[in-house]
Amino acid sequence: MIGWIQRNWVFAIGGIILGPLSIWAVFMWLGLGLGFSSTEGFNKFLPLVLFGSYPIFFFLCVRAALHREKSKHDYGFWDQLPIIYFTTAFLIAMIIEN
């Protein structure tokens, strides 16, 4: 178990911490963000789409990383992309609201 965590600590952060956090962000945006948002048009729904698609993006990155690991014996940048995606989605959500 410790060996798996040492090799895949970035995936553990992306799946165990950021996965549920993205689902929480979707529910919070549905409950509070849409009701009190002052933005108009599609920008109101953009954070919802970004956070809602995070679990799909995470699983696609895991699949691509495992495929690359089989062929080249390293993950490349696929293990870091979910964290970058989540951070970018969070920043976009904050920029849109301000």
* pLDDT tens digit sequence for 59-86: 999 999 999 989 998 888 898 999 999 9
Mean pLDDT of all residues belonging to the chain: 86
Number of other CB atoms surrounding residue 45 within 10 Å: 15
pLDDT in tens, 5-44: 777 888 888 999 999 999 998 888 888 877 777 777 777 7
- According to the model, what pLDDT value does residue 82 have? 94
Q: Which residues, other chains included, contact 81 with Cβ-Cβ below 8 Å and sequence gap of 6+?
A: 57, 61
The answer, yes or no, to whether residue 54 has pLDDT greater than 90, is: yes
Number of domains the chain contains? 1
Structure tokens at 90: 């969070």
- According to the model, what pLDDT value does residue 28 have? 86
89, 29 Cβ separation under 8 angstroms = no
Domain containing residue 27? 2-97
